[in-house]
Amino acid sequence: MAGGVADVDLALCGGGLQSALIVAALHGTGYGGSVALAESERIGGNHTWCFHAGDLSPAMRRCVEPFVAHRWSSYEVRFPGYRRVVGAPYAMISSERLRSEVLRMVAHRTGWVGREHTPVASLGEAAVRLADGRTISARTVVDARGAAGAAGACGYQKFYGEEITLRHEHDLPRPIVMDATVEQRDGYRFMYVLPLTATRALVEDTSFSDGPCLDEDERRWRIAAWLRDRGWETLRIERTERGVLPMPLAEAPAAGGAAVMRGGYRGGWFHPGTGYSLPVAAEFAELIAATPVADLPAAVAAAARDRRRRARFCHLLNRLLFRWYPPAARRAVFERFYRLPESTIARYYALRLRLVDKIRILGGRPPAGLSIPAGRGGRLTRASGRG
Ligand SMILES: Cc1cc2nc3c(=O)[nH]c(=O)nc-3n(C[C@H](O)[C@H](O)[C@H](O)COP(=O)(O)OP(=O)(O)OC[C@H]3O[C@@H](n4cnc5c(N)ncnc54)[C@H](O)[C@@H]3O)c2cc1C
């Protein structure tokens, strides 16, 4: 991209999670073609991405390894009725680490280039026009510029988090993926806690809510109260992050326009039941790295069909959660879910549910389970307490 025009095999538009996973997959599999990545701001943005070891194929686990900043051999969940340690390895990718590794991988390869502060103005099947007027022509263009447009009918996973240095060492041996013993407000609410070092932790106030409005002041106050209750004293807040992730109730219609390949959130490569992207975006990355260019359009179309099929069950769960259960009943749904076998929990996060898992998830009597509430004539009845 130094001159007016660049000619590459693969152009990646956007330098977020999806493009980083593609770079890692190409790097890890020894891709011999040329690559150009254009990011409008800073590669990786300001995120923390977590995943379970079982979310990724063994090959992608190896490729993603350099991005991992922290790992734990288990995590736990806490509900009023019980605590459970789930013996599944859990890992965290930080934006900083992801950015430095992407830049390192790109610098390592002849014919690879990654540019920050380089917005894409428009793109087509075989060319990308940058905002500064330059053009990249490419055999394959992937549009991974993140969310585009309205989310459609959905619930929301919302969070505000603080990465904190504590005055003293804490006593938390593993992440708490859900501490749902906290007061329930704005839907299902829980605290998400990652112990990063002996004196550093990421603490996020999270809710599964009906609306997208994120009240940061209230969440700041709630984090402070949670820390106070545990006797954790804040020395410094190092970093904050926030997110409002749509949890769709149905598949969004495919975006129209030119036959551009859409990756990441924009292409629907995320888990509708968790709002998280990593497991599904990694599948897309693996496909891009493993498929000859001529076969890519058909391979991506087939993979997208398969993903939509797998996502359908999660859309149903979202409809049950956000449309049929009143907010006050939602905690019981998760309390029951985390009593299921570890294998079902792992396959849920990986969006690889089997029939037996679906039966387990939908089993049980409401509101204890995510089962369909039995109404008159056995049909769905709207839960009370909601408009
Ligand atoms: C705070 C936070 C925490 C999260 N935690 C997790 C988690 O633990 N696990 C998980 O799986 N998911 C998590 N998610 C969800 C996940 O981050 C997103 O779904 C994921 O980043 C989507 O990947 P993406 O590459 O499609 O989009 P993004 O990562 O958003 O990347 C899109 C990139 O495109 C760039 N861009 C936009 N327009 C242009 C343009 N015109 N030209 C060039 N570049 C452009 C943006 O600047 C951005 O860097 C989290 C989200 C947030 C907000």
In a domain, 84, yes or no: no
Sheet-wide strand order for 176-179: 83-86, 75-78, 176-179, 188-197, 200-209, 154-166, 234-248
In this structure, are 139 and 273 located in the same domain? yes
The predicted structure's pLDDT at residue 375: 36
In this structure, are 212 and 256 located in the same domain? no
Residue after which a domain boundary falls, among 248, 272, 299: 248
In this structure, are 227 and 298 located in the same domain? no
Once rounded to an integer, what is the mean pLDDT over residues 291-313?
95
The minimum-distance atom of ligand 1 relative to the CA of 270 is: 19
The predicted structure's pLDDT at residue 384: 32
In this structure, are 226 and 286 located in the same domain? no
- The residue to mutate among 67, 276, 283, having the most atoms of ligand 1 within 8 angstroms of its beta carbon, is 276
The position carrying tokens 């904190």 is 164
Q: Is the CB of 282 under 6 A from ligand 1?
A: no
**CA torsion 25→311→345→282, rounded to 10°?**
10
Once rounded to an integer, what is the mean pLDDT over residues 82-97?
96
Q: Phi then psi for 19, rounded to 5 degrees?
A: -65, -35
> Is the pLDDT assigned to residue 327 strictly greater than 80?
yes
Ligand 1 centre to CA of 16 (Å) is 5
Q: Is 115 helix (H, G, I), strand (E, B) or coil?
A: strand
204 close to 346: Cβ distance less than 8 angstroms: no
Q: Is the CB of 10 under 6 A from ligand 1?
A: no
Residues 1-46 pLDDT 10s: 545 557 999 999 999 999 999 999 999 999 999 999 999 999 999 8
**CA torsion 36→42→45→49, rounded to 10°?**
50
Residues across the chain? 387
In this structure, are 299 and 271 located in the same domain? yes
Kindly report the number of other CB atoms within 10 A of residue 380's CB atom: 14
The predicted structure's pLDDT at residue 300: 95
In this structure, are 213 and 255 located in the same domain? no
> Is the pLDDT assigned to residue 353 strictly greater than 80?
yes
The predicted structure's pLDDT at residue 241: 95
In this structure, are 35 and 113 located in the same domain? yes
State CA 161 to chain mean position distance.
Answer: 15
The predicted structure's pLDDT at residue 275: 86
The predicted structure's pLDDT at residue 29: 94
In this structure, are 136 and 64 located in the same domain? yes
In a domain, 80, yes or no: no
Once rounded to an integer, what is the mean pLDDT over residues 151-160?
91
* Number of domains within the chain: 3
In this structure, are 31 and 95 located in the same domain? yes
Q: Is 214 helix (H, G, I), strand (E, B) or coil?
A: coil
CA distance 193 to 23: 29
State CA 81 to chain mean position distance.
Answer: 28
In this structure, are 190 and 97 located in the same domain? no
In this structure, are 352 and 203 located in the same domain? no
Residues 53-72 pLDDT 10s: 899 999 999 999 999 999 99
99 close to 42: Cβ distance less than 8 angstroms: yes
Task: Give me the helices (H) in the chain, please.
Answer: 17-28, 58-64, 95-108, 216-229, 278-290, 296-319, 330-337, 342-349, 355-362
Ligand 1 centre to CA of 146 (Å) is 5
Q: Which two tokens stand for residue 213?
A: 């409005």
> Is the pLDDT assigned to residue 373 strictly greater than 50?
no
- Lowest pLDDT segment from 85-94, 113-122, 279-288, 367-376: 367-376
Phi-psi region of 152 (alpha: psi -120 to 50; beta: other; left: phi over 0): left
311 pLDDT tier (thresholds 50, 70, 90): very high
Mean pLDDT of the chain: 91
The predicted structure's pLDDT at residue 367: 44
Ligand 1 centre to CA of 147 (Å) is 8
- The residue to mutate among 68, 163, 277, 314, having the most atoms of ligand 1 within 8 angstroms of its beta carbon, is 277
Residue after which a domain boundary falls, among 248, 267, 301: 248
b/e code 97-126 from CB counts within 10 Å (16+ = b) = bbbebbbebbeebeebbbbeebebeebeee
The predicted structure's pLDDT at residue 139: 94
Read out DSSP for 253-288?
A: PPP-SS--EE-TGGGT-S-TTT---HHHHHHHHHHH
Could you tell me the pTM of the whole model?
A: 0.91
Residue after which a domain boundary falls, among 309, 337, 352: 309
In a domain, 46, yes or no: yes
In sequence order, the β-bridge partners of residue 11 are 36, 141
What proportion of the chain, given as a percentage, has pLDDT over 90?
84
The predicted structure's pLDDT at residue 248: 94
If you take atom 14 of ligand 1, which residue's CA is the nearest one? Answer: 276
In this structure, are 25 and 94 located in the same domain? yes
The predicted structure's pLDDT at residue 152: 83
In sequence order, the 6+-apart residues with CB closer than 8 A to the CB of 239 are 46, 162, 163
In a domain, 142, yes or no: yes
Identify the helix (H) or strand (E) that includes residue 166: strand 154-166
Q: Which CATH number does the domain housing residue 218 bear?
A: 3.30.70.1990
Q: Which two tokens stand for residue 133?
A: 């007027």
Once rounded to an integer, what is the mean pLDDT over residues 144-169?
92
Read out DSSP for 284-340?
A: HHHHHHHS-GGGHHHHHHHHHHHHHHHHHHHHHHHHIIIIIS-GGGHHHHHHHHTTS
Query: Which range marks the domain in which residue 104 is found?
Result: 5-70+90-150+250-309
CA distance 365 to 229: 34
The minimum-distance atom of ligand 1 relative to the CA of 44 is: 49
Q: Is the CB of 47 under 6 A from ligand 1?
A: yes
Residues 214-263 pLDDT 10s: 999 999 999 999 999 999 999 999 999 999 999 999 987 766 555 689 99
Q: Which CATH number does the domain housing residue 54 bear?
A: 3.50.50.60
In a domain, 145, yes or no: yes
b/e code 197-226 from CB counts within 10 Å (16+ = b) = eeebbbbbbbbbbbeeebeeeebeebbeeb
Q: Is the CB of 38 under 6 A from ligand 1?
A: yes
The predicted structure's pLDDT at residue 372: 45
- The helix, strand and coil proportions of the chain, stated in percent and rounded to the nearest 5, come to 35, 30, 35
> Is the pLDDT assigned to residue 209 strictly greater than 70?
yes
In sequence order, the 6+-apart residues with CB closer than 8 A to the CB of 326 are 383, 384, 385, 386
